[in-house]
Amino acid sequence: MAGSRRGDRRNTPLKLAAVAAILIGLVLVSLRLLPGSPLQSTAASHWGEPTPDRSTGEPTDRSNRAKPAPSPTPSLEPLPFSDEQIDLDLKGWYAWSVLDTRTGKIIGSENMDETSTTASLIKSWIVADYLRRADDAGQQPSGAKLAEATRIIRDSDNTLAEKFYNSVGRSPSIKRMVSICKTTDSSPAADGGWSRTNLSPRDTARLGACIKDGRAAGPKWTNWLLNEMRQVRGEGDFGIRKAFPAAEQKTIAIKNGWVDRTREQEMHINCLAIGDNWTMGVMVRYPIGMGYEYGMKNCQKITEAVLRSDT
């Protein structure tokens, strides 16, 4: 026991020296952190202060430094049409309109809100209305029914169009078009027939947008309908898309209308086209004795006149 006490007394100076060293270290650290101390840490004293300019030794003030400009929003590629009025030497009345489906902007002739009777152009809506309503009711059109719809679109079959028009309620179908497609100039025919539906070029472009974005035929049938409209053939294949290069024509969906109005003694020729980022409506009226071909060519001629020269 005595030997143990002597050992404790010999170690006491060492313990005191260790404690003293620790205390001195703590004091030095405190002095380095104390503002104004000669031992103040350079990093601590400059924390939160401007960084010195290496060339002058003066602090660099970054408060007024210009912030990086945000990246510009990519601009949309312009449509292939010019927003300008055209003056063509055509007999009778004509009007046109283009809708940018990316922005909803509409351009066209000054009279693009004037209406004409649609003839077969309205068949695109009749088929769309039928398909959307069938899907809404949980019904799958039969193969035979879809084959009839194909003939209405591709070949403009009038008898089948009348059959489908009856199935969608006749004039109420056109009222649904006005409501769903947000048309402003359109109205059903006074006699209730599909051929005399009143539509303007502006509303024709809106109808095209309504078909393109799925409101008309519904999500299930939109691509099907657009594909059928790209395959319009025979005498109904004229007008707007003929103004484009052959390879591009295959990508443009169309539905046209043509009729001789004996009551008015006029030809009514109408064109609807749906492109990648645009829809277009062109309508013409002229004396009945001039025949169909004159108006069919003029739909194309009007389109060519409003296409930008660099397209």
Identify whether 34 is part of a domain: no
pLDDT average, residue stretch 280-294:
98
The parent domain of residue 216 ranges over 93-306
Reading the block at residue 166, the tokens are: 């009856």
**Tens of pLDDT, residues 207-265:** 999 999 999 999 999 999 999 999 999 999 999 999 999 999 999 999 999 999 999 99
Res. 130 pLDDT band, cuts 50 70 90 = very high
**Tens of pLDDT, residues 181-212:** 999 999 999 988 999 999 999 999 999 999 99
| 63 or 101, which is more confident | 101
pLDDT (0 to 100) of residue 34: 52
**Percent of the chain whose predicted confidence (pLDDT) is above 90:** 73
pLDDT (0 to 100) of residue 62: 54
Q: Which residues contact 252 (CB under 8 A, 6 or more apart)?
A: 230, 240, 241, 244, 273, 274, 275
Identify whether 46 is part of a domain: no
**Tens of pLDDT, residues 21-68:** 565 555 555 555 555 555 454 444 444 444 555 555 555 555 555 556
pLDDT (0 to 100) of residue 177: 98
pLDDT (0 to 100) of residue 49: 46
Identify whether 83 is part of a domain: no
Identify whether 256 is part of a domain: yes
Identify whether 88 is part of a domain: no
Reading the block at residue 123, the tokens are: 């068949």
Identify whether 59 is part of a domain: no
Identify whether 12 is part of a domain: no
Q: Is pLDDT above 90 for 310? A: no
> Which of these, 169, 168, 167, 205, lies nearest to 186 by C-alpha position?
205
Identify whether 239 is part of a domain: yes
pLDDT (0 to 100) of residue 192: 87
Domain total of the chain:
1
At 202, which CATH number?
3.40.710.10
